[in-house]
């Protein structure tokens, strides 16, 4: 863990991770095995980070690859045709929209980490991180969709915008980390993600958010096409 870091930052982030997993569970019709796998995945990386495994910046290959590469592979796997059949049937879009509310506490955590010199300013809402807009609007969009004031097309557009914003800050976060390909934040690099519990941001929270956006986009596009075919 990061020494001297105010405890509220650790507590808020751990709570955010738990809420993310809970919302993932309910928005996908309670997939027990998958949720258990995600919890075990999170525990493994938490233990490795707590033991200092990711702190060796000179290791070859970079140890952060054990987080980054599997996360990307799992997102891609989760979008394959067989998996699409599952989430098209199981996804409860009215709940998955609320999942993105976790981005608001994440932004608060990132700002706290910036104040404590553990991430660069560009990763906060005072820098290049506009992801807070999705965190703020998620509950509003979710309620409007629940009440059928907002349609599927508007929700689709909102998801596309949310996906662009999370990918933008994710890429900035990676390129501002102390890795061989670092491009930003040299004066104050993104160090927080190699420590527990913040390793769970790239290992668990961000992959779930990205996959949820992508799968909701696929589902909403299919439903809009079906609606058009039925009305034709």
C-alpha–C-alpha distance, residues 205 and 56, integer Å: 23
Of 179 and 28, the structure prediction assigns the larger pLDDT to 28
- Residue 2 included in any domain: no
Total domain count for the chain? 1
Reported as a pLDDT band with limits 50, 70 and 90, residue 3 is confident
208 falls within a domain? yes
Bridge partners (DSSP) listed for residue 190: 177
Residue 86 belongs to some domain of the structure: yes
Higher pLDDT, 85 or 186: 85
Nearest Cα to 203, choosing from 15, 49, 24? 49
> What percent of the chain is modeled with pLDDT above 70?
97
| 35: its two tokens | 């949720």
pTM for the model: 0.94
Structure tokens at 174: 């990676």
Q: What is the pLDDT of residues 162-202, one digit of tens each?
A: 999 999 999 988 888 877 666 766 778 888 999 999 999 99
In a domain, 62, yes or no: yes
Q: How far is CA 9 from the centre of its chain?
A: 17
* Cα–Cα dist 84/69, whole Å: 21
Q: What is the pLDDT of residue 56?
A: 83
For residue 1, tell me if it sits in a domain: no
Full domain range(s) for residue 123: 7-231
């Amino acid at each position: 863990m990061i020494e001297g870091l105010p405890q509220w930052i650790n507590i808020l982030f751990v709570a955010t991770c738990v809420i993310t997993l809970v919302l993932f569970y309910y928005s996908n019709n309670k997939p027990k095995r998958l949720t258990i796998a995600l919890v075990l995945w999170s525990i493994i990386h938490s233990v490795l980070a707590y033991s200092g495994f990711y702190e060796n910046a000179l290791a070859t290959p970079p140890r952060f690859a054990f987080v980054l590469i599997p996360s990307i592979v799992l997102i891609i796997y989760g979008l394959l045709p067989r998996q699409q059949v599952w989430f098209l049937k199981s996804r409860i879009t009215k709940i998955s929209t609320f999942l993105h509310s976790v981005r608001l506490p994440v932004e608060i955590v990132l700002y706290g980490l910036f104040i404590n010199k553990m991430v660069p300013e560009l990763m906060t809402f005072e820098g290049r991180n506009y992801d807070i807009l999705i965190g703020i609007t998620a509950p509003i969009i979710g309620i409007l969709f629940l009440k059928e004031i907002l349609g599927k097309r508007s929700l689709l557009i909102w998801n596309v915008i949310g996906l662009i914003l999370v990918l933008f800050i994710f890429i900035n976060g990676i390129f501002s980390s102390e890795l061989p390909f670092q491009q930003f934040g040299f004066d104050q690099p993104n160090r927080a993600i190699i420590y527990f519990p913040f390793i769970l941001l790239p290992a668990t929270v961000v992959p779930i958010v990205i996959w949820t956006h992508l799968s909701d986009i696929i589902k909403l596009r299919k439903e809009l096409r079906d609606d058009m075919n039925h009305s034709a």
